[in-house]
Each structure stands twice: as structure tokens, then as C-alpha cells.
Structure 1
């Protein structure tokens, strides 16, 4: 592997000049910069990023911890986070916690050892005290950790309100909500709060069935519908699902068991990620979270923290109802 001295010799400049080109410091005229860059390319020279990070006290690396990168929502979120980070000359380290607190703790340790400049926390399987001990700039997604750690999220309460009001407007008179795990204090639980309040406002009988933490696959949702939801379906004419994969699993189960959607059972999902947009039949009625705006806000706000902004406020983005064929 080529050394910086070999690059300097090939370009006919000093090692200091090569270092200035690499670190973009000091004045370097255009011809000299082009000579150095050409020498680096011809010798296939790559600077030691770790050494540069130690020298500059900044690595231009950002870590993102997600519960499951294969889930369409998080896959799309990672896409936008990486895109916007790249525009600002940052690289991304992706960590897949799969809902395991020990794994998430190990990833945080690894990110600190690799001197990342900050962390986007989407995993949320650790207790709050463990997050508070992380001595790095942190942005949380969809969870209030502490007032000193800003969060980014969509307007979950409004999303729950839109979904429930839509089912009521379609003539539903007994509603079911299949939520995420309510024992973990996450911002998406506000969807459940809105569901209950709208049902009370309209004097509509309702029930909430709670899902398990960090179970995000179609296989899980199918089994959950079969095991926990199916015995109640005949009692309800409208269901608000906590995500689109669950809504799709419920639609398939209902149609396979002689329940006509939307004539007998109306279904509303949540997310409107690329999985939902690719579905041709049915077109789900759902609540759209603007994943692109969430990704951009996560990066923008984290970099503000990295740059020393101590007064950063939380960011909440709007949601909207997407009317499809299931309601």
C-alpha cells in the first residue's frame, strides 16, 4: 500500500503539502492540488481515516441504530439518512439491534470506539439511564429519552386521530385498534391515545389489542392476527392497525376467511413506506409518515448538535391520510 511520502515524491511536493490537500487545510493552488490528487489516484493511496479523526477530533462518521433494517420503514429511513448525510460529507455506520438490549449496548460501545461524531437512536431497547450515559451527541427517533436529548418524529396523535375519524366517517360503529407495545413509552403510543379519545368523543365501543415489542415481520403479524385478533374480528367493523404490514396481514386473513373488505370490515394502516406504495391489490388506506423529511431532520438536527447547538428543539412533522381500497 502506498505511503504519503510516495505520494509526495510522485507529485513533486512536500509531505506537508499532501497532508494539507488531504485535510483541506491551508491555501493550495489549483495546479498543486491536481498534481497531488492525480498522484494519489495513480498510486491508489487512501488516507488513514482513523488517524485523521484523531488529528481533527472529528471522524465525519454518524451511527444509526435501528431495530430491524429489513423492515420497509427502517430500510427507507436509512436510505434518506444516508442520502442527506452524504450531501453533508458524512458517512453512516448502520447497526441492527433486532430489539436486543445487550446488542444495542454493544453497538453503542462500538460506535464510541470508532469515534463517531454522533448517533441516531431508533432502537430504544435500553432503559433511559443507559442512554443518558452516552457521552456523544444523540438524536432520538420517536422516543422521549430526556429533555437534553432532542427527538424527531411524526405527529403520532394526529395520525391516530385521522385514522379513527376516517373509520367513523365511513360508518364504522365498533372499532378495534391493534397497537404496538404500550408498556414501552414511545411516541407512537400517542396514536392509541387519539384512537381512544375519538371513540369516546363519538360514543363508539372500542378495544385495543397490544402487540409485542420489536416483532416487525409479516410472519409475526400473520401469526398474531391468527392467534390474538381473529377471535374478535366478528365483533368489529373497523380496524386501525399500527403499521401497514400488519394491515396487509389482516386484509389477507380476512379475505381468506370470508370477511369482505371493506364491505364488512374496514382497515386503516400506518406508514405508507415503499412496501405499501408497491402494493397493487389492495391499495391500503393508511396514514403517511413523510419518511424523507424525518430522515433529513434526523441528520440536520444531529449535525447541529455536533456543531455545538445546545438549544436545539424537538422536531415533529405532519402526517396525512391516504385513502385506498380497504376502507
Structure 2
């Protein structure tokens, strides 16, 4: 079996250079990296992960806990976290809490028992004090937990502002916002804050419906829309901003069932622009795009910096820009 010395000899570089390529450390030119990787493939050389882990006192595994990886947004987010992890020679353990506090606690315990190097926390069913007490690096998605736990998310306030301004620019005078659950202080709640402030700024009539924490399936959202809107006169609104694209699509179907024409009588804006939205042919939703690729990369690289460089390398809370995507529903 070939070793690192044979790889170095075949690539025409030093053993230290091969080690830097394997561990992705220090500057390596593209040509040198290509030579080393070609030599490794030709010799079928596989770095000893166990030895690497013992040497650095790491497992090179990280965990990510999401509410539901079947939801298109979290499915994409996990994908980009994994892509970034692979580039840095880490592996990812994916856990679905299904918004169940007991499951989330059990997964945290399981990840700690398996000695992961850190956790990306996208499910937030527990009190913040429980996260603070964890003795390993954590990065949070969309929830500010404490000063010692970095948070990464999109600019939700700007997203809510863009959505509301767009509806008003299209002539809407009576707006409704269907938010997510508000019992936790999530960054996504800033969408609703922006909606209210923008409506007040333009002296536009508005109403607010709070979503419940439950399943993230289309069936649930369709039932939620039908249940919540059956008690109000939907035709009194001419513009609705939804907290996510699946809610927006469920609303579109419900509005058609009620005989309302979209966008002539009712304009709809969603939020996310994930794979579900991009696959829709009718309608093409108007929505706010969250860049899941940038968010996923930032979550993973922030966590790795904490793992490898310690507290001095903590990165401040990071907001990535959002974008209005205009479709057929406005």
C-alpha cells in the first residue's frame, strides 16, 4: 500500500506539501494541488483519518440539527453545508428534530456522545440557556442565542421591506401578512416587523396572522390556510405577504378555490426561493430569495474556524443579502 512518501515522490513535492494539501492548510498553488491529487489518485492513496483525528484531537465530524430535512429550504441548506464540509475534510451528521424539544435534546446528547467537533443549530425548540451550557462550538441559524454563539442568517428585515414595498408599488391598499410562529425570538420575525413598519410608513391598512409551530409540509400549510382564512373575507385584501413559499402556494390554490384571480384581484409574495419554488411552472411565485448556498457555506466555515482556532476566532453575527424575485403572482 502506498504511503505519503510515495505520493510526495510521484508528485515531485515534499511530504510537508502533501500533508498541507490533505489537511487544506496554508497556501498551495493550483498546479501543486493538482499534482498531489493526481498522484494520490494514481497510487490509490487514502489519508488515514483515524491517525489524523488522533494527531489533532478531533473527530472531523460536525452535526447539524434541522426541523425537517424534507423541507426544500433545509434540504438545500444541508446540501451546501455538506459541500463546504467536504472541501475542508469534515463529515456531517444530519439530525431531524421535527420541532420536537425531546428529539432535539436527544440529538444533542447523541452528537456529544459521538464526540462531534461542533454543531450547527437550525432547530430551536429549547430555552437558550440549554444551548449556552453545551461545552462545544455551536453556530446558530436564524436565532441569536448569546454573544458567545455566532448566528448566521439572511437580512430578514430587508426581505420583509422588499416584499411589502413591492405589493404597495403594485397598487395594493389592504395588506395581510401570514407570519411564522412568533413565540421564539427568531431573526425571521423581523420580516413581520418590516411589514408593519412599511405599511405604517405608507399609511396602508394591514392585518397580521401568526402561524403555528407544527409540521413543515404542504398538507399542513394547506390545512392552516383553509382553517385560518375561512373566518375572514379574503376579498377584502388585495395583497398578501407570506412567511414562506409553500404557504404562498397554498394561499394561491385557496384563493383560486374562492374564485379570486391572482394577480388581478389578489397579489401574493412568498419567501425563500428554494427548489420547490423554482420548479413551479404555474404560477411563478413572486418571492424573496434567501441565498442558501452562501448561508450554508457561512454556517460551516464559521463553525470550523471556532473548532480549529478557538474563541479568538469568533466571527460576529452575519446577515447575508436577500433579493426580490418578481414572478406571476404580483
The answer, yes or no, to whether TM exceeds 0.5 is: yes
- In the alignment, the residues of structure 2 paired with residue 70 and residue 291 of structure 1 have an alpha-carbon distance, to the nearest angstrom, of 15
What is the CA-CA distance between 1:205 and the residue it aligns to? 1.3
What is the CA-CA distance between 1:144 and the residue it aligns to? 0.5
Counterpart of 1:322 in structure 2 is: 325
- In the alignment, the residues of structure 2 paired with residue 187 and residue 48 of structure 1 have an alpha-carbon distance, to the nearest angstrom, of 38
Whether 2:245 is the aligned partner of 1:244: answer: yes
What is the CA-CA distance between 1:278 and the residue it aligns to? 0.7
Root-mean-square deviation (Å) = 2.4
What is the CA-CA distance between 1:204 and the residue it aligns to? 1.1
- In the alignment, the residues of structure 2 paired with residue 55 and residue 294 of structure 1 have an alpha-carbon distance, to the nearest angstrom, of 31
- Give the structure-2-normalised TM-score: 0.85
What is the CA-CA distance between 1:48 and the residue it aligns to? 7.7
Counterpart of 1:298 in structure 2 is: 299
Structure 1 152/67 Cα, relative in aligned 2: closer, same or farther at 3 Å?
A: same
Counterpart of 2:262 in structure 1 is: 261
Instruction: Write out aligned runs for 1:82-101 (5 A).
Output: 82-101=82-101
Q: Deviations over 1:142-176 (max 9, x none)?
A: 00001110100000000000000000011110000
What is the CA-CA distance between 1:293 and the residue it aligns to? 0.4
Q: Which consecutive residues of structure 1, in runs of 5 or more, have no partner in the other structure? A: 1-6, 14-19
Counterpart of 1:61 in structure 2 is: 61
Instruction: Write out aligned runs for 1:127-276 (5 A).
Output: 127-232=127-232, 233-276=234-277
Counterpart of 1:17 in structure 2 is: none
- In the alignment, the residues of structure 1 paired with residue 189 and residue 146 of structure 2 have an alpha-carbon distance, to the nearest angstrom, of 17
What is the CA-CA distance between 1:300 and the residue it aligns to? 1.1
1:231 counterpart SS class = coil
CA contact (8 A) 1:63 1:119 kept: yes
- Give the structure-1-normalised TM-score: 0.85
Q: Which has the larger radius of gyration?
A: 1
- In the alignment, the residues of structure 2 paired with residue 309 and residue 56 of structure 1 have an alpha-carbon distance, to the nearest angstrom, of 17
- In the alignment, the residues of structure 2 paired with residue 61 and residue 69 of structure 1 have an alpha-carbon distance, to the nearest angstrom, of 19
- In the alignment, the residues of structure 2 paired with residue 108 and residue 181 of structure 1 have an alpha-carbon distance, to the nearest angstrom, of 23
